[in-house]
Amino acid sequence: MSLYRDEGVVLRTQKLGEADRIVTILAKRTGKIRAVARGVRRTTSRFGARMEPFTHVDVQFHTGRTLDVVTQAETIRPYGEALAADYPRYTAGSAMLETADRLTHGEKEPALRQFLLLVGGLRTLAERQHEARLVLDAYFLRSLAVAGYAPALEECAKCQTPAVRAFAIVAGGVVCGGCRPAGAAVPAGETIGLMTALLRGDWATADASESRHRSECSGLVAAYLQWHLEHGIRSLRHVEREPV
């Protein structure tokens, strides 16, 4: 029997048969894993509650022909418990899980930095240190940067001049007047400053930002993320935004 062990975050589950589930886990060393958790839908299951989304778990797997099988699971931290009673934080966390799933394309391809970003984002949400949507936007920007899609925020994405005039998703970030394509957004300077702060982890600046700049930032970041993923994030429709 070929066994291996890793820690990871449960991203999603789907029913299989009458009592089993297929779980998708982003693991620290292995990357994304799809495995069968047998009998977890039974009330007598030994580790059913440990195989729920948001749970940070230590898992042992048996290598299977098509899907691996979960043989042991121990909870490291159940982030779902801290988020379930807080709708803005729960929906922000759901969007994080979905984004992590989308950004890690292949199975069993190591994605350590994406794993660490996800765990850090969920922990920050659960500890309620910052407004939920700020945490989500910071996670989006940083996970995009790890994937190689960081937006240009200080110099024109096309010609690298510092004369920033607009934000163009298709161009890769801020652009100057000469490179500005039709339909580019013209956000406030404070909004671009907020995006920069979130990308760098400057929480003092982010926490001091105004609601209208947070709202504008969220719209740009969500659009930029979904354009690069070439797919919408379904959880985003439930995420509450800051009022303008």
Statement: residue 98 has pLDDT above 60: yes
Mean pLDDT of 189-206: 97
**Angle, alpha carbons 238-25-144 (nearest 5°):** 60
Give the pLDDT score at 9: 98
Give the pLDDT score at 43: 67
**Angle, alpha carbons 173-205-129 (nearest 5°):** 110
pLDDT tens digits, 30-63: 999 999 998 888 866 777 778 899 999 999 999 9
Banded model confidence at residue 1, pLDDT cuts 50, 70, 90: low
Statement: residue 243 has pLDDT above 60: no
CA distances from 31 to 8, 11, 53, 153, 229 (A): 9, 12, 16, 30, 18
Q: Give the SS3 label for residue 76.
A: strand
Statement: residue 135 has pLDDT above 60: yes
Compare 244 and 43 and report the one with higher pLDDT. Answer: 43
Statement: residue 65 has pLDDT above 70: yes
Average pLDDT, the chain: 93
Banded model confidence at residue 238, pLDDT cuts 50, 70, 90: confident
Mean pLDDT of 134-143: 98
Residues 198 and 206: beta-carbon distance below 8 Å: yes
Compare 85 and 42 and report the one with higher pLDDT. Answer: 85
- What element of type H or E holds 137? helix 132-146
